Amino acid sequence: MTAMQTGAARATVTEMPEASLARARRFVDERHLTPDTWAAMREWYAAEPGRPFVVRGFLRPEWAQAMHSAMRDLPVWSRCATVYTNARDSAEIQEEEWEGNPNRAARHFVARPLGEALQNGTVPDAHRRTLEQFLAFCVLTDTLRDWISAGVGFPLEPRTSVELAAYRAGDRIRRHQDLFPGRVMAVNFYLDADHEPGTGGRLGFRNEAGHDELVEPYFNTLSMIPVREECWHWVEPYAGTGTGRYTVSIGQHLLGRPHQVRWEETQ
């Protein structure tokens, strides 16, 4: 994301703890570990109406490529079709029942049971190490949370939700809000090195003013969107060849606020 910064905005940026910054340098391109990035993030989160925050080339190239390879070769992709049971929650149904259901929510591949596969030797060692280290960076330690907090200016809850997803032709996520207690933003890593623009699968975001914005899932891009009562988001139908749009999605919650812990692979 490119944004004009003011001196006042830079002055409000909180620095990352040194331990987290050192860990982040293993994964994050150095261009995005700067006061300018955090100042841009501070302006983004405070802005009304809201909009997506998009960072191209977020990961160091070797990590982005390693994650693409690991996700492409995962042996535990399974189909997941869900329908909304109320304004916030969804339940899984048989895929053949999904297309005609008026309450359909999402349909795509999810990696499950991922934790078991990483422990029982199902995933090849090189990919297992890549996935374990990446999940430690973005979920199991405070590294990614501290990077976000350095920009937005408030701490995030260590417990969160994470989903590894992939798409084939026709897969999508319909418009929804994710208004779980304490959730303040959704974070997505796009990790399909073979992605071609124009093949669908864009993230859609509608803000408080009713304006729609679409985010192309370019390889090695990070997107963040605010979770607010007046905002909606979705994934438009994917139209690529074969399986693609490999994505790691993470829900972030405000520290100290109660919320539901949802490991999406269990759905």
Q: How far apart are CA 182 and CA 106, in angstroms?
A: 23
Q: Which of 123-130's residues contact partners 24+ apart within 8 Å by CB, and which partners?
A: 123/70, 123/74, 123/75, 123/76, 124/73, 126/70, 127/69, 127/70, 127/73, 127/74, 130/63, 130/66, 130/67, 130/69, 130/70
Per-residue model confidence (pLDDT) at position 160: 87
Report the amino acid identity of residue 99.
Answer: E
Torsion region of 218: left, alpha or beta (phi above 0 gives left; psi -120 to 50 gives alpha): beta
Say if residue 40's pLDDT is above 80: yes
% the chain with pLDDT above 90: 88
- Kindly indicate the confidence band of residue 256, based on its pLDDT and cuts at 50, 70 and 90: confident
- At residue 98, the pLDDT reads 97
pLDDT at 107 over 90: yes
Distance CA 196, CA 241 (A): 10
pLDDT band with cut points at 50, 70 and 90 for residue 14: low
Q: How far is CA 167 from CA 120, 179, 227, 252, 255, in A?
A: 26, 24, 23, 23, 32
pLDDT at 259 over 60: no
What is the reported pLDDT for 257? 61
Q: Is the dihedral of CA 23, 69, 247, 159 positive or negative?
A: negative
pLDDT tens-digit series, residues 193-242: 999 999 999 999 999 999 999 999 999 999 999 999 999 999 999 999 99
Banded model confidence at residue 6, pLDDT cuts 50, 70, 90: very low
| pLDDT at residue 88, rounded to an integer | 83
How confident is the model at residue 11, as a pLDDT?
34
**Are 233 and 175 a contacting pair, CB within 8 Å?**
yes
Full-model pTM:
0.91
| Percent residues over pLDDT 70 in the chain | 91
- The full 3-state SS of 15-74, as one line of letters, equals CCCHHHHHHHHHHECHHHCCHHHHHHHHHHHHCCCCCCEEEECCECHHHHHHHHHHHHCC
- Under the phi-then-psi rule, with left for phi > 0, alpha for psi from -120 to 50, and beta for the rest, what region is 210? left
176 has pLDDT over 90: yes
The residue whose two tokens read 């520290």 is: 255
Q: State the pLDDT at residue 224.
A: 98
- Whose tokens are 């490991």? That residue is 263
pLDDT score of 118: 95
